[in-house]
Chain A
Amino acid sequence: MNVSMKRILFLAARIVLGVVMIVAAYMKLRVSWLVFAGSISQYNLLPDNWLEPVARILPWFELALGVFLLAGVLTRWAGLLNSLLLGLFFGVMVRSYAAGLKIDCGCFGPGEALGPKTLIRDGSLLALSIGVTVAAFLARKKTSRGAPVRVGNTTVNAL
């Protein structure tokens, strides 16, 4: 695979991930935080007094990550945080599904049951996020090791 193809794939993955995170956040923010609090409570993980702050803050955090990924700003750190967040979600979902809980996923707002479909989708998103993060760190490493960097109209070797 040549360099330009890799760049296109990286860009596409970053955009897909960013859009998905923004949509996930929007679906939660368009209804009251109480609905998301209800979804979180079904996982039986957090004490009741944590539900409100998490339900209020988490969608905004998802939105910020989505915007950073889509805009390509702080991609490595946004990707890393995104992977950690999706990894947490995925772990919790697998645990709940294995425990036989018949609950709402809460991934894209209310009304979607936790099941194989949601697990495959979130697992794929996690893999994509890890891929984007690794690619972003590798690109940075190559640049800092002396790969040519374009500055204005001239190409110079990075330090």
Chain B
Amino acid sequence: MRPLLFLLPVLLVPVLAGAGETSAAHKKVAAEHGPALLQNYKEVGSPNAPITLEIYSDYSCPSCRNFYMQTYPALISEFVNTNRVRIIHRDFPLPQHPFSVLAARYANAAGEIGKYDVVFMQLFKTQPEWENNGAIEPEVAKVLSPSDLAKVRELVKVDPNLEKTVASDTRLANQDAVNQTPTMVLVRNGKREVIAPIPPYSVLKSYLDSVLAHR
């Protein structure tokens, strides 16, 4: 038994070193950004909005790109900015897309330094450039300063929270029986309504208007 005790430090060193590295990266980011180290970077809009839309998406999915390029900006300007709707982004990387998880790591790492919006939109915008070769970082570099990019790169390498975020979203997706992207879950009065496929904006607007009028 005693020889095994000598082995314990050998086994623990890599684990502790990894934890130290992660915590150092976090501390560095937290020190430089202070309150900008956001916990709820995936949420947009007022927490008191009567409707919450949870959107499950995959960064490599073309329909998600269409949604974020066409429908999302209108939703933000007409419903989120008027405090009627809150949006929560959720990751649901599909197994057939090899670089979706990596893209989600970049977006979530950017979220940890307060740059989620700009990076996730850039990832959808430039999807055709990286979806086949996984060259995500050059696209992210176009919208971040060199120092922010360095922080994001560091977090992508070492931060285990990024995986937890994706795993937590995927767990929720399974509870909602999500089987395609994008999928929208409309939450109001504690009830969850799964909407997939998501219709065009004009139809969605008509539905949201009628729900808001009858609440």
Contact = CB atoms under 8 A, between A and B. Distances in A.
Interface string A29-47: 0011111011101100000
B202 A38 contact: no
B200 interface: yes
A36 to B, nearest CB: 9
B20 interface: no
Interface residues of A, number: 18
B197 A38 contact: yes
B143 interface: no
B165 to A, nearest CB: 26
Contact of A48 (B177, B194, B200, B207): B200
Given A104-B180, A111-B179, A52 B197 contact: no
Interface residues of B, number: 16
Interface in A98-114: 103-104, 110-111
Interface of A is mostly: helix
Interface of A: 31-35, 37-39, 41-42, 48-49, 51-52, 103-104, 110-111
Interface of B: 177, 179-180, 193-200, 202-204, 206-207
B207 A38 contact: no
A28 to B, nearest CB: 13
Nearest to A36: B199
A41 to B, nearest CB: 5
A33 B195 CA distance: 10
B97 to A, nearest CB: 13
Contact of B195 (A38, A48, A52): A38
Given A35-B195, A104-B180, 15 more contacts: A31-B193, A32-B193, A33-B207, A37-B199, A38-B197, A38-B198, A38-B199, A38-B203, A41-B203, A48-B200, A49-B202, A51-B199, A51-B203, A52-B203, A111-B180
